[in-house]
Chains A and B, each alone.
Chain A
Amino acid sequence: MNEKNGTILSVNDLKTYFQTEDGVVKAVDGITFELKRGETLGIVGESGSGKSVTNLSVMRLIPEPPGKIVNGDIIFDGVDVRKLSIEEVRKIRGKRMAMIFQDPMTSLNPYLKISTQLMEVTQLHLGHSKQQAYEHAVEMLRTVGIPAPENRIDNYPHEFSGGMRQRVMIAMALSCQPELLIADEPTTALDVTIQAQILELIKDLKKDLGTSVILITHDLGVVAGMTENIIVMYAGKVFESAPTKELFATPANPYTKGLLKSVPDPAHEEGKPLYQIPGLPPDVAHLPPGCPFAERCERAEDICEREFPPFVQINENHHSLCHFAKEVYAESINQGSTIS
C-alpha cells in the first residue's frame, strides 16, 4: 500500500452556490485542489473569497437551503463524499475529518461542560464508555497544553480564555485521531502571542499524529512556515496554486503579489502603514464578465475587463489565473524574492 504518500483529499471543480434575495451567490465556483497524506495545504484569500464555504462543503456542512453544492467531486480517501448519505457522512465527520472554527468564543456550547462536549465525540465514534471517554478527554486536554486538566475538565466554556477554548476545540477535533484536520482561521480571533502558540501546537500535533491539515487564513504570514502547498482564492476561484516556497519566491499572479506585499515584515519600518490592496472584494452575486480582480489590479489591461482569464500552467505544480501569468512570473524571477 502506498498509504503514506497517497492522496487523502482531492477536490475537483467544486461549485457551491447560495440562493439569496440578491441572486445566486457563487461563493465557490470551480475549485480544484489536492492534499497528500501527512501534508498541510494553506488556503489563503481575502474575506469572502470562499475559503470557509469550500471547506464546509468538504464536511458537507453547507446549510441547505440556502446553499447547495451544485458541481464537483470531493474524494476523501477514495470515496466521493458528495455521493454518501447523510448518515454515512456523519460517521466520517468528527472521526476521520474534523474541523476547528474561527471563533473559539462562540464555537463551544456555552450550556454544556467541556467534559460533556469532549466525551460525546469518542463515545459516539470510538464506542467509549463514560469512564473511558472521561479519561481520554483529560488526556486530550493535557496534550493540547491545558494545565491541570483534571481540575478544569468539568468547567464551562465561559470559564476559559479565548486561547484555552481554541485549545479545547483542537482537543475535540483531534480526539478520534482524524486523518484530515481542517483549521478555519484558527488564530484570527486570538491575540498575537496566543496565535503563535496555537499554530505551534497544530504543527506539533500534526507531526506526532501524522494528520493531514488544511489551514485556512487570510494572512500569508501564517502559512509560510506551516504548509507544503498553498492555494490562493479570490471571488470563489483559485487564483494561484503552488508549492509554498515557490509561491512566496515567484508569485505568478498580481493578487498574490498584493497579498504578499501586505504581510507584516519584521524589517518593516515602525509606524509606516501596512500595504493594502486597493478597493474591496467584489460582490460574488454580481460578477463582471472579465477578471473579477481587474478593477483592483495594478497591471490590468482592456482584455482583463472583457475576458475571463485562463488558468495558466507555469510548471508542473504551479498555476495562475491571469491573462498575464507568464509575464508576472517572469517579473517575479527578475526581481528575486523579497520574502523567503
Chain B
Amino acid sequence: MLKFILKRLIIIIPMALLVVTLTWGLIRIAPGNFYSGEKKLPPAIEANITKKYGLDKPWYVQYGKMMWNIVQLDFGDSLKYQGQSVNEIIWRHFPYSATIGLLAYMLALLIGLSAGIIAALKQNSLFDYGSMALAMLGLSIPNFVLGPILVLVFSLWLFWVPPARWGGISSLILPVITLAAIYAAYIARLTRAGMLEVLRSDYIRTARAKGLSEKTVLLKHALRGGIIPVVSFTGPALASLLAGTVVVEKVFAIPGLGKIFIESVFNRDEPLTLGIVAFLSILIMVFNLAVDISYGFLDPRIRYE
C-alpha cells in the first residue's frame, strides 16, 4: 500500500512536467507574446527585455531553463504584476477558490447523497420523481445562468444576501450554491443509480433473509457498494471545485484562482499561466490518488501492489 502511494506520488512529477510542456508549447505556437501588445516599445527597451528573459536564445535553451526552474518549484515572476512571484500570486488567490470550492463540495455531497439514497429507497415515489426532475434541471442550467438568477431573486428582490464580492459569510452563500448545484445534481443521480443497482443484488436479498432491519440492510450492507460510483466522481470534482471556476468567480467578483488564470492567459503572462497549470495538475493528480486509495478502503477486493 505504502509502495503504491509512493509510486503514484513519484509519477505525478513527470506528469506535471508533461502538462507544463504541452501548455508551454501551446503558448509559444500561438502568435504574438506578452510584449506584442497595443503599445509599441522602443527598440532599445525591447532588445533589453529580450535579453533579460533570454528570448533571443534558441527555443530549447529557453525551454530547458524554464523546466530547470520549475523543477525547483520556482515559477519566476509574473510579467504583468511586476515584482510579484507566481508562487505569491497563487497562494494569495487560491484560498478564495478553495473556501468556496470546499463548501460547495460539502454541500453537494450532503444534498446529492441524501437525495440519491432516499430516491433509491422510495423508487417511483413523488420524492423520487421530484428530486430527479430537480437534478435534471440542475444539470441542464449552466451556472452563468443560475448565478445571476439567484442574485436577482435573493439579493436584488429579497435583499437577503449581498449580490457579489468577498466579505463575510453571507457573501459566500450564493456562489457556493451556484457552484454546488450541478455537482449535487450529478451526485444525486449517481447515488440513486448505484443504490438501486446494489439493492437489487443477491447479497442484499441474503441480508433481508437473515431478518435484518431495513435500516441495517441499507447502512451496513448496501451503502458501501452503492456509493462507489460517487467516490470515483468526487475526486476530480473536488479538484476542479478547489481550482475555482472561472464563471462563478466572474459572476460574483471573487478574486479566486480561476479568475487570475483566465486573465493570465489573456495577458499572455506566460510564467503565471504555467505556474497555475502546474499547480492545478498536481492538485488533480493528488485527488485522483486519494480516490484510488479510498477505493481500497471501500472495496476489499481491490489490493494495491
Contacts and interface: CB of A to CB of B under 8 A. Distances in A.
B104 to A, nearest CB: 29
B213 to A, nearest CB: 7
B220 interface: yes
Nearest to A95: B211
Chain B CB within 10 Å — which of A111, A169, A172 has the most? A111
Nearest to B300: A156
Contact of B202 (A91, A98, A101, A120): A101
A251 interface: no
Nearest to B206: A107
A109 interface: yes
A125 interface: yes
A90 B212 contact: yes
A90 B213 contact: yes
Nearest to B301: A158
A212 B288 CA distance: 53
Given A101-B202, A110-B300, A112-B220, A90 B207 contact: no
A94 interface: yes
A101 B206 contact: yes
Contact of A112 (B124, B201, B221): B221
- Interface size grouping (class) on chain A: 20 to 34
**Interface class of chain B by DSSP:** helix
Given A111-B225, A111-B299, A92 B211 contact: yes
A99 B210 CA distance: 8
A172 B149 CA distance: 57
Nearest to A106: B202
Contacts of A90: 211-213
B203 interface: yes
A111 B201 CA distance: 13
Given A106-B201, A156-B300, A158-B300, A93 B210 contact: yes
21 contacts: A61-B208, A61-B209, A89-B211, A90-B213, A92-B211, A93-B208, A93-B209, A94-B209, A94-B210, A94-B212, A95-B211, A101-B205, A103-B202, A108-B203, A109-B206, A110-B301, A111-B298, A112-B221, A120-B220, A169-B206, A172-B206
Interface of B: 124, 201-203, 205-213, 216, 220-221, 224-225, 298-301
Q: Which 7 A/B pairs are nearest by Cβ-Cβ distance?
A: A94-B211, A93-B211, A94-B210, A106-B202, A156-B300, A109-B203, A90-B211
